[in-house]
Amino acid sequence: MTVLVTGASGWVGRALCARLAHDGLDVRAAVRSVASMLPGRTCPVVGPIDSATDWTEALAGVQVVVHLAARVHVMNDRSTDPLAEFRRTNVAGTFNLARQAVAAGVRRLVFISSVKVNGEATEAGHAFRETDVPDPKDAYGQSKFEAEQGLRHIANETSLELVIIRPPLVYGPGVKANFAALLRAVQRGWPLPLGAVHNLRSLVAIDNLTDFIRICMTHPDACNQTFLISDGQDLSTPDLVKAIAVAAHVRARLVPVPVWLLRIVASLAGRQQAVQRLCGSLQIDSSKARLLLGWTPVLTVQAGLNKAIEEIPE
């Protein structure tokens, strides 16, 4: 089977290509420029992803497309019209790819969306489910929601089989941004003012995500379904810090600072979103993936963190 992976040069894309190649599949790793090509992979260069992208060469002979490429969530976005920028790649670019995939005879498209389609936070005991009314709060989440809607319309009018996956925060070896900063802080033994946080958050290890994508590429019962996916073990932020400390073989240093004080300091520093992620809850009910597809995570949270701590970007 020949598989086209878009966004192949990204962190998740590289991991997915490696997994699929290990399984013996013919992997095409679509990239935007020659500089992004992956050693040892067939890498069609498609340029910027929008309504004008030509996918002809990349799609020839392909049975399954995994669409990872996207304009991702941008912190401190300086664009004058962020939603228009997200729509250019995440909506128009996605529709263009799907239509050309249909024309090329592609059987199935696996679209990697985001839990942000559901919303930004949950109340205790009320995990997000696939049946919830979408409630995106920012331009990125809105663009992913619009992409999902359009893809369903295309699938309904054609023979294209569509699978939508909405992951939460993905972690693992080489993870970047805020999660990498948290790994470094715990590994270096820094005191963290998170001891008084009482929340629950769902995560997904990159190995679990790539394994689930692999199943969704071929499983007959995944056809035209939407899945929320996680490790299946929700953690409070203090428990996450403790689990990272176990992985790093250090002592967790948690200081019980009141959450209301953390929020005031974050507001003054312009870091409200970061503190919301550390203090708020975001739970996912991933039981549909387990019941319908018989999927179980290949890694526990602790095993995923053990791997993540081995490779922390500077």
Catalytic residues: 140
Distance CA 213, CA 164 (A): 10
Q: Where are the beta strands (DSSP E) in the chain?
A: 2-6, 26-29, 64-67, 108-112, 161-166, 169-171, 203-205, 225-228
Nearest to 200 by CA among 277, 297, 281, 123: 281
Cβ-Cβ contacts under 8 Å for 71 (sequence gap 6 or more): 85, 86, 88, 89, 90, 140, 143
DSSP bridge pairs for 254:
192
CB 146 within 8 A of CB 91: yes
Please state the separation of Cα 311 from the chain's center in Å: 19
* Structure-block tokens of residue 256: 């019980």
Nearest to 117 by CA among 146, 95, 93, 96: 146
16, burial (CB in 10 Å: exposed 0-12, middle 13-18, buried 19+): buried
Distance CA 144, CA 162 (A): 15
Distance CA 218, CA 97 (A): 20
* Structure-block tokens of residue 244: 């990272």
Cβ-Cβ contacts under 8 Å for 41 (sequence gap 6 or more): 8, 17, 21, 27, 28, 29
Distance CA 90, CA 68 (A): 10
